[in-house]
Amino acid sequence: VLALPSRVTFYALDRAGEVALAKDLTTIFTFPADTGTPAFKAAVLRMLRSDGGTLRYAVKGATRTAVFARSSFTGWTFAVDFRR
């Protein structure tokens, strides 16, 4: 288990948008764009369409900021986000 502060989350999405790695093990093999708020879905889709960047979105009533980048080797998108 990756030891990060409680307000910080790490995850990796494969090319199809499925969670391949995550701090929260219960999210592995899920498709976050199919769940959650419309804002979260939009954030996930933006990450999948971009090579990297920073974005903000709301999930479970909290604003989160994500920093993400796509691996040129695997095509996966790696993200670290934190709750403000």
Specify the pLDDT at position 32. Answer: 87
3-class DSSP state for residue 77? strand
pLDDT tens, 45-67? 999 999 999 999 888 788 999 99
Q: Given phi > 0 = left and psi -120 to 50 = alpha, else beta, which region is 79?
A: beta
Cβ-count burial 9-39 (b if 16+ within 10 Å, e if not):
bebbbbeebbbbebbeeebeeeebbeeeeee
Q: What percent of the chain stands above pLDDT 70?
A: 98
Specify the pLDDT at position 39. Answer: 84
Residues lower than pLDDT 70 in the chain: 1-2
Q: Are 82 and 11 in contact (CB under 8 A)?
A: no
Name the pTM for this structure.
0.86
